[in-house]
Structure 1
Amino acid sequence: MTPGVSIVADDTRSWGLETAGPGLLLNVPSTGPWARRPALHLEVAPSYRLRLRGGQKTLLWTRIDSYWDQAVFVRGTDSAPRILPVLTAPEIRTVDSLPGTETWWTAWNWKMARALIGAPLPVLHAGHWCLRPIRAIEAEKAERHPVSPMEWSFGQPLMPPHSLAAVTQFPLAWTEDWWEALPGQRPGALLPLREASAAEDGRVKSWRKRARDGTLPPVLLLFVDILAKWVVLDGHDRLHAALLEGTEPPLLGLWPFIDRPQPWNATREEGALLAAEFQLRTPPTPDTVDRINRMLLFSFSHDRRGTVSRAWPLPGGQAAWREELSARRRLGPPPLLDEDDWDWLL
């Protein structure tokens, strides 16, 4: 018998995020269908060349500078395939608890977990996953620079989501300076996988009614740590509807993680205390106190969990990368990229 995915309550005390309710841990086996690369996945070629695939379509090409200073992004010409089945009104009515309560979140956790396990275009791969309610922050409060692989020991803390209005924007290409990042490009920024439907679209109007009465189902986001962004897996229209109504959308975050037990280290703990003392020499703001507390918890914890995105080798390697992007360029260079950006990307 092929083992299935096991689902248990999330016992992690803190992921460094503000969570709105209880979560679930999914343990995906490495046999059967889970041994294959999922339909939505990252592929990698040398020098931090990354390709995001959805089904047989390329959704995004990204190249990151080797010093982790900047990145260039180019979208594919195809729209992202639907990852989860369309939510129907009868399905939504099966969750009859008061929205935002623990029982309401638990019901949606389980509904989304089962949908992910049975998805025709799978996202999950072998390993550990967390599915948990999360809350967005203001972009100005986000970290200013992504954490590079050179700075973390395989697995890192999550970044809270922000800049949800990005779901209404869909640039075909753009560059990011990670030292002087605009607030909407800081770690934790939202990355939609398709263009937003028009505000007059019937489905958006239907979701707007639910946003007004507080019964909007959660939007499902996936954290991609190497890009330091949250990808919208399911709920582009729901998120758009909430923005149009000026309401806070319920968000469910999904991320792969690894357990990182670490031995006691006096130098690390002493360094954390010195860093905290230095930051507290001037009257701290509430944000500073919160950041220090998270840093101390992270430094003194001996049983930590961190997120890490899995990637597969890009078939054909760098030659295939150049051929694909050259063909994309011949279709008409997207705006906001100059010739130097294209040459470096290739």
Structure 2
Amino acid sequence: MQRSDVTRDDGTWMGLSLDVQDRHQPGLCVFTAGAHLLVSQMSQPVLLAVVDEQHEGVDFWRTDGYRSFVPPLRADAGRALAGSPERWAHRFAQYLIDSPGSPLHEGRWLLSCESPLRHWRHADASHAEYWSSILVDGRPNGYIDWFLHAHSWEVLPLRPMPDADDSRVKAYRKQAREGTLPPVLL
């Protein structure tokens, strides 16, 4: 696998390009059969779904089989890499490469901090309200209406979100206040 930084003409860093060879099938992949969808990780089903007859949405059911390929990120790593999207991209690239359960497979990939999700937040909504609004509810099952949010993206977590009083969430709040919270990899 080859890594190369992607920059603008003025030298501003835009992302990290990954050229992957010899990885024929991803560890985290999507299979389809007609209206049926299956997301599996290393042959373990993590999400089952059926597209409705009118193709307006999808009913889904999450298993508890998903395992993150990114290990828990410690606060000291957040402080060390704070403010450096380049260094975070290289760190995440290594996690993607090292884990057989990652979605990485042959082809060219781009890790970038440029995401439309960052720009769609309404000015009158806090970051917490915005991120809460784009997370798909339903545990273990639910429905995504593709036309209800036609001009936005939603994020479907493959594992349960921790409770607000969870120690990890408290630590993340502290990191957010310090400006050292790690980025979200989607």
TM interval, shorter chain, is 0.7 to 0.9
Deviation at 1:172, TM superposition (A): 3.2
Q: Sequence identity of aligned pairs in percent? A: 30
State whether residues 57 and 78 of structure 1, in contact with CA within 8 Å, keep that contact through their aligned partners in structure 2: no
Consecutive unaligned residues of structure 2, counting only runs of 5 or more, are: 123-129
Deviation at 1:173, TM superposition (A): 3.1
Which residue in the other structure is 2:153 paired with? 188
Larger Rg: 1
Which residue in the other structure is 2:6 paired with? 10
Does residue 22 (structure 1) correspond to residue 14 (structure 2)? The answer is yes
Q: Which structure is higher in RCO with an 8 Å CA cutoff and minimum separation 6?
A: 2
In 2, Cα distance between equivalents of 1:187 and 1:9: 29
Alignment partner of 1:113: what SS? helix
Q: Cα RMSD between the aligned structures?
A: 2.8
Which residue in the other structure is 1:109 paired with? 89
Distance 1:63 1:136, change over 3 A: farther
* Partner residue of 1:173 out of 131, 141, 161: 141
Which residue in the other structure is 1:259 paired with? none
Alignment partner of 1:189: what SS? coil
Alignment partner of 1:190: what SS? coil
* Partner residue of 1:55 out of 42, 48, 70: 42
5 Å-filtered alignment, 1:19-168, equals 22-29=14-21, 31=22, 34-35=23-24, 37-45=25-33, 47-64=34-51, 69-95=55-81, 99=83, 104-133=84-113, 134=115, 135-138=118-121, 164-165=131-132, 166-167=134-135
Does residue 210 (structure 1) correspond to residue 161 (structure 2)? The answer is no
The two structures have a TM-score, normalised by structure 1, of 0.44
Deviation at 1:79, TM superposition (A): 4.5
Alignment partner of 1:80: what SS? coil
| Number of aligned residues | 173
Distance 1:11 1:90, change over 3 A: closer
